[in-house]
Amino acid sequence: MTNDELADKLAEAQLTDPPPVSVSSAPDPDAKGTFIITAVYPPCPPNVSHNPAGAGAGGAAGAGGVGAAGPGVGGAVGPGVGGAAGPGAGGAAGAGGGVPDAGSLKGFDADFDCSHLLGKAKAAGIKFICRYYSRSPGKNLSPSEARLICGAGMWVVTVWETLGDHSSFFSFKQGADDATSASNQAQTIGQPVDSAIYFAVDYDASPAEIAGGITDYFKGVQQGLAASMPGKATYSVGVYGSGLTCDTLFKAGLVRHTWLAMSSGFRGSKTYTSWNIKQSLDEDLLGIGKKVDPDVSNNAANGGLGAFTVALGGAIAGNF
């Protein structure tokens, strides 16, 4: 980032309502040429919510920041504001309130660093960006990228994906191993507990395959997450996959959040409507000459979509 670009971003941060008390920048230790911009806002009056898109009902104030309403009310936290209310939390309607329709929250998922796209994403009405944990460092979410996404007023969703595109991959041991690695990466990012990590079943699994290795895998996921943070609350489990996969695992109590894959020809996908996130065919959504997968969120289903914000300066990380 050039000095002029940094100056523009600092000036842009001053244009919020209400204006920040102070705006500062510091070089990001995780990425050369990248800066962390911290905006400090005055305390929020009681029963007032500040949402970046002016949509959603405001929840009760959270520790260190303004809370966003939980499932069914689609509130949002603004740049530098932490403490979103967790699943099941309500709250009185805030300024600019109104419950968004199911599927009204726009997002996308990508297997590359999106730090340079945040201005375009925000201008396109993007509310959340889905990024990866995996054993391939080049496609993984980094701490600096997570902070930049949240600092731009958007939320992060995470998904673990390695080789989950065939039935022989799935087993209890594989699930426990993957969950341990995913949890370790999430803790490095600063992802708050009780937000979700989705685990990918990236093929059209049959009923027998779901009942067998895939069910065993998600039992292993639950054990691996618990073992990675003994005696503590840990991450909520989500699944990315077909309608049949999502529905079966949710009804079995093995996942809390479901992300419907783009392939409408997969088993059960045309009739499955209880998804938290629904993926569409990839396209150049942001006009950058590179395709991403568009997503929409039904935040009212299944306890919320499991997105989160990370700590920015003195703000507190939160999830919704």
Query: What is the mean pLDDT of each successive set of 10 residues along the chain, which is 320 residues long?
Result: 60 58 62 67 43 33 30 31 30 30 76 92 93 94 95 95 88 97 96 94 96 98 94 94 97 95 92 92 75 83 84 53
What is the three-state SS of the chain?
CCHHHHHHHHHHHCCCCCCCCEEEEEECCCCCCCEEEEEECCCCCCCCCCCCCCCCCECCCECCECCECCCCCCCCCCCCCCCCCCCCCCCCCCCCCCCCCCCCEEEEECCCCCHHHHHHHHHCCEEEEEEEECCCHHHECCHHHHHHHHHCCCEEEEEECCCCCCHHHCCHHHHHHHHHHHHHHHHHHCCCCCCEEEEECCCCCCHHHHHHHHHHHHHHHHHHHHHHCCCCCCCEEEEEECHHHHHHHHHCCCCCEEEECCCCCCCCCCCCCCCCEEECCCECCCCCCCCEEEEEECCCCCCCCCCEECCCCCCCCEEC
Q: What pLDDT does 115 receive?
A: 92
Q: What pLDDT does 12 receive?
A: 64
Q: What is the pTM of this model?
A: 0.70
Q: What pLDDT does 300 receive?
A: 64
Q: What pLDDT does 9 receive?
A: 67
By C-alpha distance, which of 51, 32, 233, 30 is closest to 147? 30
Cβ count near 250 (within 10 Å): 21
- Per-domain boundaries in the chain: 3-40, 105-310
At the fourth CATH level, the homologous superfamily of domain 105-310 is Glycosidases (3.20.20.80)
